[in-house]
Structure 1
Amino acid sequence: MTEKRTVRVAAVQIAPDLDSADGTVDRVCRAIADAAERGATLVVFPETVVPYYPYFSFVRPPVLAGADHLKLYERAVVVPGPVTDAVAAAARAHGVVVVLGVNERDHGSLYNTQLVFDADGRLVLKRRKITPTYHERMIWGQGDGSGLAVVDTAVGRVGALACWEHYNPLARYALMAQHEEIHVAQFPGSMVGQIFADQIEVSIRHHALESGCFVVNSTGWLTDEQIAGITPDAGLQKALRGGCMTAIISPEGNHVVPPLTSGEGILVADLDMALITKRKRMMDSVGHYARPELLSLRLDNRPAAPMAATLPTAPLPQKDDAEHDDALLLAR
């Protein structure tokens, strides 16, 4: 008889610290400890919560966003670096898997990056959002196919996508084909109003049904004071409210616990992993329900690089070697 396997997970809806480079990291580490005290073995945070999602870019024209963009550069996360060290230490200390969204700085570019830390603190996946959305394209560069990967962790096989990547069916299928058991979704939250929350819910419930996996989704939260600090325009402030749908979805497309749609908090739920087989027995999109001879996906998962150097096949002769060769020629 198969042993029953249950995984307790936590989805964190949290406000970033907009005024401090390290403040959000401190909040993240406290939330990891809080979730672990509740028995969670997987803790999920919102999209680019460290140091914060670039909400300014949604309500401010590019010509006026330079100072805030540069500030984001200053506060962005270098991987590996002090931020990843701190989060890895928290994951290891509490024995939990952590999925964290960060603004990653790689020399002169920023990226929307998802980090997966295993329960021993190892960083087992660093992936970048493959196509930033609309206003985000002024802020972040593009990721590549190397991040469309599912990784084995202490809680099972975990895959992740950010925000509107869930509108790319081929990106989702790439993770489905790697048999993810727990899909992590991350959205910014506090944007666009109720329609955004509705769209999130539809997207994550559909992915759970189609992939036959659990979905753990986290969205961010902004306080009224933070919204006023981003823009004093009352009309634009409306664009920075609503849109929160922190939720945990079963492979049957149901909410495991009621979603969190306002305020800060942590959802905790037990996942009965047997529901994956129960769902896939009926419909396995990458197995008995697939028709690969008719329809299939080709994924280029090579890391993209701006330069490929071709080295000589043999080292150039050193000075001493050259002098030795000259001596041989003279002796002849």
Structure 2
Amino acid sequence: MDKILKVAIVQAAPIPLCIDQGIGQLCKYVADASDAGAELIAFGETFLGGYPIWLDEAPGAALWNHPGTKALHRILMDQAIVPGDARLAPLQKLVDERNICVSVGAHERVRSSLYNNQLLFRPEQTPLDHRKLVPTHGERLIWNRGDGSTLSVHQATWGHVGNLICWEHWMPLARAAMHNLHEDVHVACWPSVRETYAIASRHYAFEGGCHVLAAGTVMHRADLLNGLTMVGGDADAQALIEEIPDQQLQFGGSLIIAPDGSIVAEAKDDAMTLTAEINLAAGAEAKAALDTDGHYSRADVFELSVDTREKLGVRWDPHKSE
């Protein structure tokens, strides 16, 4: 029996750095996509706050003690969401009222560290966190590592939905763990969906027997400078951003992918909302040939152990002082 779900990827430019303004923009995009009938809406990696593109594009960003890098880090620390952030209440209200799910990336602050968190908002429940397990290359200058406590899926009325972020799609054991959670739809979050990222997303769909929303964003250098102005500006941060060529920096390329790896809908490199109606029954049909968590897993040969404990690093035991 067919089981149809309307999905959307909002491939838009974020408001970099200024998360306060970004939340308002996010809610407008969500409302518009919901008005068009979307029940699951996805945004790309760190849409709230914008991807820290200066780490890739500004030649001096990785230099020790660089004043511009430090200034941008301070701004993100000041702006970042925190667990239970009251600023996200308008988005949760939209999700509750419209009975939808929204996957959106954000810079999150826990104590004094930043994390790359892909939040899954769901009706009448707290958002589901997924903190990136391994920041990639230069990202380690800004983000801490997540732990196994945020490897999970949401059980929606129509099925399971989960997230992974960017190069986590090349972590075979992370993929295996998520396949074990029986995703019907997977959100693959990227800054831009480059050719190799599209390959990884299509592979995930085929391997997991699920639909994949490969969500990218668009961004120009002007967006970075505009966001910096919104947070009050900073001369050192502006000087670093101005080292970046004045051009488009993120190129969208979002995809909606079927469980057989075929492309259902594809965006180009400009701002748009990509939508499709997907048949969730196709996932069950795909598993007739390949179930990597079941008949194609060889559980008698291979075994995966996943530690889902939260790793805080410090445990205060009141009994120790007695």
CA distance in 2, matches of 1:100, 1:179: 21
Q: Does 1:232 align with 2:242?
A: yes
Select 1:173's aligned residue among 165, 176, 195: 176
CA distance in 2, matches of 1:200, 1:261: 14
Letter in 2 for 1:282: A
Give TM-score, length-normalised by structure 1: 0.85
Aligned residues: 303
In structure 2, the gaps of 5 or more residues are 227-239
Which residue of structure 2 aligns with residue 198 of structure 1? 195
Larger CA deviation: 225-234 vs 284-293: 225-234
Cα deviation for residue 311 of structure 1 reads 4.0
| Deviations, residues 283-302 of structure 1 (Å, cap 9, x unaligned) | 11111111011112111111
Kindly indicate whether the alpha-carbon contact (under 8 Å) linking 2:39 and 2:100 is maintained by their aligned counterparts in 1: yes
**Sequence identity (%):** 31
In structure 1, the gaps of 5 or more residues are 190-195, 317-332
Which residue of structure 1 aligns with residue 39 of structure 2? 41
Select 2:155's aligned residue among 128, 141, 152: 152
CA distance in 2, matches of 1:75, 1:175: 31
Q: Does 1:217 align with 2:176?
A: no
Deviating 4+ runs (over 4 angstroms): 227-230
CA distance in 2, matches of 1:89, 1:170: 35
In angstroms, what is the RMSD of aligned CA positions?
2.1
Gap change, CA 1:278 and 1:112, over 3 Å in 2:
same
Cα deviation for residue 231 of structure 1 reads 3.4
Secondary structure of the residue aligned to 2:89 is helix
Which residue of structure 2 aligns with residue 75 of structure 1? 79
Secondary structure of the residue aligned to 1:136 is helix
Larger CA deviation: 290-299 vs 75-84: 75-84
Cα deviation for residue 224 of structure 1 reads 5.5
CA distance in 1, matches of 2:135, 2:107: 12
Secondary structure of the residue aligned to 2:93 is helix
Higher relative contact order (CA 8 A, sep 6+): 2
Select 2:120's aligned residue among 116, 119, 126: 116
Gap change, CA 1:78 and 1:310, over 3 Å in 2:
closer
Kindly indicate whether the alpha-carbon contact (under 8 Å) linking 1:41 and 1:155 is maintained by their aligned counterparts in 2: no
Letter in 2 for 1:241: L
Give TM-score, length-normalised by structure 2: 0.88
Kindly indicate whether the alpha-carbon contact (under 8 Å) linking 1:14 and 1:265 is maintained by their aligned counterparts in 2: yes
Which residue of structure 2 aligns with residue 136 of structure 1? 139
Matches within 5 A, 1:245-324: 245-257=253-265, 259-312=266-319
Kindly indicate whether the alpha-carbon contact (under 8 Å) linking 2:15 and 2:224 is maintained by their aligned counterparts in 1: no
Gap change, CA 1:123 and 1:155, over 3 Å in 2:
farther
Gap change, CA 1:20 and 1:243, over 3 Å in 2:
closer
Select 2:164's aligned residue among 127, 139, 161: 161
Letter in 2 for 1:172: R
Which residue of structure 2 aligns with residue 102 of structure 1? 106
